Amino acid sequence: MVVSSGVTDRNLPAIQPMTARNIVLSTLLGYHPPELPISALVRVGALFGIAERAVRTAVSRMVSNGDLTASDSVYGLAPRLVERQAVQEASLSPTMSDWDGTWEIAIVTSPPRPLAERVALRKSMGHLRFAELREGVWTRPANLTRHHHGVIAEQCTVFRGRHDADTALVESLWDLDVWASEAHRLLGVIDPNSDLKSGFMASALVIRHLLVDPCLPPTLLPDDWPGDALRRRYAEFIATFAARLRDYSQAA
């Protein structure tokens, strides 16, 4: 499902409107391999009241813009979007390691930067689940396995340190009660028997929420933290839902 790469309040990415383009992109992002005939994309668009002509126009423009590839009326994600698909799926359940009590600290040390570079850094920090301690200073517990590259490596110096009051720092950086409350609500929203349109939207909401789970060490989380439960429920749901959507989209 399409979740924008922008970062809004408390690092929550926004769900993009269900335009013809976003429906096509969301559908293909959920397929392996990410390619479908135009007839299937038209059927998914119909779930949202999108006319066939609008879907075909969107697909044509996406091919022209390099978002899609085309071969005998079958359309697939371009390589850069296939990479995006892999990154999004990996981000839903990042690899966590035992926490040694240290924090990652990224400090902007580059010269003054254009707005586009500052925005790119903020997006990257959100994707890697850093929280902003103050302007130009980002941090999180060092319990996620990944590499800092691209704009983070170009603009920041990254090192590790310790804090005397870990719990207080967590409370100042993340509103865990708000995240947990929404996660519990979504656990009730995910329904394998829901209609396809509702399932499509529920999937987008869950992806959005999981992408901003801070994925903190267990010792820094409340006892009833619903992060793992939501990931398990979503994995079970999407397996069934994806099959149902595939059957619908490919029906004669």
Please check whether residues 84 and 18 belong to one and the same domain: yes
- Cα dihedral 214, 218, 224, 228 sign: positive
Most confident of 21-25, 101-105, 127-131, 244-248: 101-105
Please check whether residues 198 and 235 belong to one and the same domain: yes
Query: DSSP 3-state assignment of 72?
Result: coil
Of 93, 136, 115, 131, the closest CA to residue 12 belongs to 131
Range of the domain at 72: 9-91
How many whole angstroms separate alpha carbon 7 and alpha carbon 221?
23
Q: Which residue has the tokens 């920041």?
A: 156
Please check whether residues 188 and 235 belong to one and the same domain: yes
pLDDT for the residue 15? 53
Does 139 reside within a domain?
yes
Please check whether residues 185 and 132 belong to one and the same domain: no
Q: Is the pLDDT of residue 125 over 90?
A: yes
Please check whether residues 82 and 119 belong to one and the same domain: no
Does 97 reside within a domain?
no
Does 125 reside within a domain?
yes
Q: Round the average pLDDT of the chain to a whole number and report it.
A: 89
Residues forming a β-bridge with 104: 140, 160
Q: What is the CATH number of the domain that holds 16?
A: 1.10.10.10
pLDDT for the residue 3? 46
| Phi, psi angle pair for 75, to nearest 5° | -115, 135
Domain's final residue, options 135, 161, 187: 161
Q: In this structure, what is the dihedral angle of CA atoms 159, 163, 167, 168, given to the nearest 10 degrees?
A: -110
pLDDT for the residue 231? 94
Q: What is the CATH number of the domain that holds 224?
A: 1.20.58.1460
Does 63 reside within a domain?
yes
Domain's final residue, options 91, 114, 135: 91
Confirm if 245 and 198 have CB atoms less than 8 A apart: no
What is the rounded average pLDDT of the residues 38-60? 94
pTM recorded for the entire structure: 0.83
Distance of CA 139 to the CA centre of its chain: 20
How many whole angstroms separate alpha carbon 104 and alpha carbon 4?
26
Please check whether residues 87 and 129 belong to one and the same domain: no
Does 166 reside within a domain?
no
Confidence band (pLDDT; 50, 70, 90) for 72?
Answer: confident
Please check whether residues 63 and 108 belong to one and the same domain: no
Does 234 reside within a domain?
yes
Q: Is the pLDDT of residue 147 over 90?
A: no
Domain count, the chain: 3
Please check whether residues 87 and 20 belong to one and the same domain: yes
Does 210 reside within a domain?
yes
What is the rounded average pLDDT of the residues 170-192? 95
Q: What is the CATH number of the domain that holds 143?
A: 3.30.70.2650
Does 127 reside within a domain?
yes
Please check whether residues 137 and 179 belong to one and the same domain: no
Which tops the pLDDT comparison, 11 or 79? 79
In 128-164, which ranges are continuous DSSP H helix? 151-155
Please check whether residues 148 and 210 belong to one and the same domain: no
Query: DSSP 3-state assignment of 105?
Result: strand
Please check whether residues 86 and 112 belong to one and the same domain: no
Please check whether residues 77 and 34 belong to one and the same domain: yes
Write out pLDDT tens, residues 196-245. Answer: 999 988 988 999 899 999 999 999 999 999 999 999 999 999 888 888 88
Least confident among 38-42, 144-148, 157-161: 144-148
pLDDT for the residue 32? 83
